[in-house]
Amino acid sequence: MKTATDQAPAKRSRAAAAAAGAGTAAGQAKAHDVVLQVRDLAVDIRTHRGTVRAVNSVAFEARAGETLALLGESGCGKSMTAKALAGIMDPVCDLADGEIILNGTDLAALSPKERLKFAGPELGIVFQDALTALNPVYTVGTQLGEAFRIHRGLNAKEARVEAIDLMKRVGIPEPESRINSYPHQFSGGMRQRILIAMAVALNPRLLIADEPTTALDVTVQAQIMQLLRKLREEGQMAVILITHDLAVVAEEADSVAVMYAGNVVESGPVSQVFADPRHPYTKGLLESVPAHLERGAQLKSIAGSPPELHDIPDGCVYQSRCPLVQDICRAERPALRPVAGTPVAGNSGAPGNAGTGNPVAGTPVNIPSGKEPRPARTAACHFSEEINNV
């Protein structure tokens, strides 16, 4: 991070910062514009048992002022996807394929050094565990000011002023005195606020929040979610919320991509996907939630457990647990394709149009203009149309 220089992205963000809050900054994305488009993303991990594919042909898009949820259970590849987007994968991981088009630039094609310039001004990330994400030997003021020193070339004194401002923005009381405190002197909720402050310091267009509230109590979780909503509205950021919690998705997200064993198995607007799931896995997850059931009633659980990464079968990734499994599921992996018979999402910016602009595998490369028609609902199942007849 120390050699990154003050380049074009930083200049834009300075302009954005000047008008922060007003929502009228030049170059700021308008609500519902496509900010990020991910296509065919694949990540390999080199293990001692050979190379395994942790993320496979993942595709989705994130829009300004909206929240996209990446939903899945542990090991499904959702955090790996986030790290791939942010360019902070572990050394044993390789970006095997795909495009990550952020505001017209394909991040996947850039060198690591070039990518650094995007970290902060264009893209911010919030991690789950605030205590390990923060450096224990520096004060929070130093850590909050880092973005301003590196990307805007501010000196320590100027950065401190910005850091205090930032702490106010995320609701940390008495920032003038607390700026000299160390991370361990803050509560879990306050640490998470500091982490969020670092991520939004340079008003990025895209904020990735990787399980931001999993370690927090529910009343604090509600506060943090409220803060994220506020910041999203103020900056018209596109937010990617990574979570395993269906209820959080239902309450916070506009659209959802459900991941299983490294693949997106279903995506679409949350209200539609949850009301009428078209992949057996999504359906099974929704039925596993104990809500709306007679107390003590038998829960519909999904039998078995997800496949190991080195043991993902040919054909459908969900075949071993699927109640609808047929021969074709074992022979052929279903592509993520539009679901027939589902309504097309409405869009205040552009009218919805089923099929076009749909980020399924094989779509020709075109840089998004920002006014992409909204993709239809998609599911990767041979029987997504018949799922409710079974």
Partner 1 sequence: MSEPLLKIDGLTKTFHVAKSASGNTRLKALDGISLTVGRGKTLGLVGESGCGKSTLARTLMMLESPDEGTVSFEGTNPFGLRGKELLSWRRRVQMVFQDPFASLNARMNAGDIIAEPWATHRGLYPTSREREARVRELLHMVGLRPSDARKSPQEFSGGQRQRIGIARALALNPDVIILDEPVSALDLSVQAQVLNLLNELQKELGVSYIFISHDLTVVRHVADRVAVMYLGRIIETGATEEVFDHPRHPYTAALMSASPKLDVSGTKRDRIVLQGELPSPLDPPSGCRFRTRCWKAQDICAEVSPEPQVLAAPDGTKHVAECHFPLDSIKGLTGATAAATAGAAATATAAAAVPAQ
User: Helix 156-169 and helix 188-200: axis angle, to 10°?
Assistant: 120
Task: Return the structure tokens found at 104.
Answer: 């017209």
| 129 part of the interface to partner 1, by CB under 8 A | no
Sole window of 101-109, 132-140, 288-296, 322-330 interacting with partner 1 (rule: CB under 8 A): 288-296
Binds partner 1 by CB under 8 A, chosen from 244, 309, 343, 353: 244
Binding mask 257-286 vs partner 1 (x if CB under 8 A, - otherwise)?
A: -------------xx--xx--------xxx
Nearer to partner 1, 174 or 332 (CB): 174
Task: Return the structure tokens found at 165.
Answer: 């401002």
Nearer to partner 1, 137 or 291 (CB): 291
User: Helix 140-152 and helix 8-18: axis angle, to 10°?
Assistant: 120
Number of residues this chain uses to bind partner 1 (CB under 8 A)? 44
**Nearest distance in Å: CB 292, partner 1:** 8
Site residues for partner 1, window 8-67 (CB under 8 A)?
none
* Helix residue spans in the chain (DSSP H): 8-18, 78-86, 112-116, 130-133, 140-152, 156-169, 175-178, 188-200, 218-235, 246-252, 270-275, 280-288, 327-331
Binds partner 1 by CB under 8 A, chosen from 301, 365, 389, 390: 301
| 309 part of the interface to partner 1, by CB under 8 A | no
**Three-class secondary structure of residue 162 per DSSP:** helix
**φ and ψ of 80, to 5 deg:** -65, -40
| 348 part of the interface to partner 1, by CB under 8 A | no
| 217 part of the interface to partner 1, by CB under 8 A | yes
Nearer to partner 1, 122 or 252 (CB): 252
Binds partner 1 by CB under 8 A, chosen from 112, 290, 346, 364: 290
| 219 part of the interface to partner 1, by CB under 8 A | yes
Q: How many separate helices (H) and strands (E) can be counted in the chain?
A: 13, 12
| 305 part of the interface to partner 1, by CB under 8 A | yes
- CA separation for the pair 30, 174 (Å, rounded): 33
| 291 part of the interface to partner 1, by CB under 8 A | yes
Separation of first and last alpha carbons in the chain: 54
Q: Provide the CB-side half-sphere exposure for 42 (13 A, CA).
A: 11
* Torsional sign, CA 197, 195, 141, 6: negative
Task: Return the structure tokens found at 368.
Answer: 């998004």
Give 109-154 as a 3 state SS string. Answer: HCCHHHHHCCECCCEEEECCCHHHHCCCCCCHHHHHHHHHHHHHCC
| 298 part of the interface to partner 1, by CB under 8 A | yes
Site residues for partner 1, window 156-195 (CB under 8 A)?
187, 189-190
| 245 part of the interface to partner 1, by CB under 8 A | yes
Nearer to partner 1, 313 or 368 (CB): 313
**Three-class secondary structure of residue 209 per DSSP:** strand
**Nearest distance in Å: CB 219, partner 1:** 5
**Nearest distance in Å: CB 208, partner 1:** 20
Contact set with partner 1 (CB under 8 A): 73-74, 187, 189-190, 217-223, 226, 229-230, 244-248, 250-252, 270-271, 274-275, 284-286, 288-291, 293, 295-296, 298-303, 305
